[in-house]
Amino acid sequence: MGTETELTDDIDQPLRDRLKAHPKPALLWGIGLCVLLLLEGPTYLDGLLGAIGYGLGVLPGAPGAEAFASASAFFGELPHLLSRELIPNRGYYDGSSWQGTFLGLEPKYAWLIRFLLVYVYVAVLLGWLWYGYVLFRRHYRAADWTPTDDVIDRLRSHYWGLFGLAVVVFFITMAVFAPVVGPTTAEENIQGPYSHEMQYFNEDTETVETITIGEANLGSASRGSGDSNVGIWSYDDFGRFHPVGTLVSGKDLFTFLAFGARVSLFIGLGSMAIAGFIATTLALVTAYYKGVTDLIVVLTSDSVQAMPALLLVILATVVFKNHWIAEIYNGAMLFILLFALIRWPGLWRAVRGPALQVGEQEWVDAAKSYGQRPTVIMRKHMAPYILGYLLVYASLTLGGVIISVSALSFLGLGITAPTPEWGRAINIGQQYIASQSWHISLIPGILITLVVTGFNALSDGIRDAIDPQSEGAEGGATGAAAGGGGG
């Protein structure tokens, strides 16, 4: 009896009291997390404040843009673990050794060290977050078991889903750490090459000379024949290393792809966040009120899905061409709103069924009988049970958004220059696909395919983990790997 009473008391004990009873594991884990975040703190703050300042700058009459931009510049100059200044790969060969690079290494090795350190850092950070969850289960969670444990265990043994998770992490890391993983910066490579200078060793005169990056790019262009190509894992005539070659303009392709990943991620996550919010809200409202409310949303969603999406995007691009919305991130915000409008009906239909099932449960009826407000019932008693389904279908849809943006950019309707976008790289290099400069189109195409497949695989893994009776889960992890790519 004494043991049962102690167990009941422990379950009823608030989390705050359990933390006070065993503070050491949580304290040590919190200190470790703070250290990991502080190592790259300036990067996070620079990106966040810069994005806010940029957004405020394009809004008519919005105050504070300059303050955020100044704060972003301040944090951008602070030293951090993976900074380009700490591990530089830009330098020149003076005839006997490399000058200006990390430890005097060749630029390719200096860049590779920084690139690998970024992914090691991300792996350690994710591993530490997982360790925090394990500590929570071991020391601070009241129940010994929850249904979430089974979901996580099934996902950990779902190899196709883990492959998708690895691809998605690789993609997100490339986007978040784009200023670090690229061999050069966006300011030098994309936005203002003629406003920056570099030094290189002239072998003819055996002297170190200075040249603008724009002029150096003209001499490093990849145009498919003879010496007019800087391919994969090679240097140009000015001692700059290019992991995946250069574009027809001579700009570094890897830097273009890294910052293009940011654009794709921004549009994908932004549109899915808005579409997911609309779909979840409407699913909860229709499941709670049913009847006429459900009929109105059904007719509205059918009307939206009946519209030709491509024509709608083309029309909106033309109509809003000179509008301030189209100026945000060179059209990215406009595409976020368009894809949110186009995609919410599909997400709503995906979660409508689970929402209707939850709405019929006894605990919802009990909450109604106790007089709880409809908004409270929907938020606390219904929403948690449909978010898993929303996550699955949003992951599938996000891959579709990324490939749609790339397709529009390929057609010349997407993100405008100079903002980098993968589809535009494919368009630029399509005439060189059968030449030495095949890398311009092929590598972005492979990345698009890989990322979309990764999101589909991750959504399959989450779906099979949440619902072990689903078609993909019946054959086990092996079966999912064989047939999970379709989404």
Whether 132 and 276 share a structural domain: no
CATH classification of the domain holding 278: 1.10.3720.10
Q: Report if residue 304 sits inside a domain.
A: yes
Verify that 310 and 279 share a domain, yes or no. yes
Q: Which two tokens stand for residue 51?
A: 């994005």
* 161 in any annotated domain: no
Q: Which of 200, 223, 242 represents a domain boundary (last residue)? A: 242
Q: For residue 427, what pLDDT is reported?
A: 92
Say if residue 340 is in the same domain as residue 272.
Answer: yes
Please report, in angstroms and rounded to a whole number, the separation of the first and last CA atoms in the chain.
52
Last residue of a domain, one of 85, 113, 144: 144
Query: Would you state the structure tokens that stand for residue 242, as one six-digit string?
Result: 């290019």
**Domain end point (choices 175, 208, 242):** 242
Residue 180 lies in a domain: no
Instruction: Determine, yes or no, domain membership for 289.
Output: yes
Average the pLDDT over 248-265 and give the result: 94
pLDDT at residue 60 tops 80: no
Q: Is the pLDDT of residue 6 over 70?
A: no
CA distances from 337 to 58, 278, 326, 461, 484 (A): 16, 12, 11, 28, 30
68 & 200 share domain: no
pLDDT of residue 259 exceeding 70, the answer is: yes
236 and 264 fall within a common domain: no
Lowest pLDDT segment from 8-22, 243-257, 269-283: 8-22
C-alpha to C-alpha distance for 115 and 113, rounded to whole angstroms: 5
If asked whether residues 282 and 237 sit together in one domain, one would say: no
Is residue 323's pLDDT more than 80?
no
E-strand ranges in 80-131 read 92-93, 98-99
Least reliable range by pLDDT among 26-30, 71-75, 248-252, 298-302: 71-75
User: What is the pLDDT, as a whole number, of residue 474?
Assistant: 52
Q: Are 310 and 335 contacting, i.e. CB atoms less than 8 angstroms apart?
A: no
The span from the CA of 250 to the CA of 223, in Å, is 9
Residue 422: which residues within 8 A CB-CB, separation 6 or more? 257, 260, 261, 264, 406, 409, 444, 447, 448
pLDDT at 41: 84
| Residue 169, domain member (yes or no) | no
147-156 and 439-466 helices, crossing angle to 10°: 140
Question: Residue 283 in 3-state DSSP?
Answer: helix
Co-location of 324 and 345 in the same domain = yes
Indicate whether 196 and 326 sit together in one domain: no
Taking CA atoms, 47 is separated from 177, 262, 266, in Å, by 9, 11, 13
- For residues 236 and 258, membership in a common domain is answered with no
Pair 235, 267 in one domain: no
Task: Give the strand pairing for 92-93 and 98-99.
Answer: antiparallel
In a domain? residue 357: yes
Please give the residue range of the domain that contains residue 46.
17-144
- What does residue 447 show for φ and ψ, rounded to 5 degrees? -65, -45
Model pLDDT for residues 83-100, shown as the tens digit of each residue = 888 899 998 888 889 999
Work out the average pLDDT over 235-255: 95
**Residue whose pair of structure tokens reads 């220059």 in the numeric block:** 417
Report residue 124's pLDDT band, with 50, 70 and 90 as the boundaries: very high
| Count of the separate structural domains present in the chain | 3
Span 70-91, mean pLDDT? 83
Say if 9 falls within a structural domain: no
284, part of any domain: yes
Give yes or no for residue 440 having a pLDDT over 70: yes
pTM for this predicted structure: 0.88
Say whether both 192 and 307 belong to one domain. Answer: no
Of 148-162, 351-365, 423-437, 473-487, the one with minimum mean pLDDT is 473-487
Greatest mean pLDDT among 35-39, 160-164, 325-329: 160-164
pLDDT at res. 228: 85
Query: Region 271-282: what's the mean pLDDT?
Result: 95
Tokens 């709503």 locate to 348
Q: Are residues 124 and 66 in the same domain?
A: yes
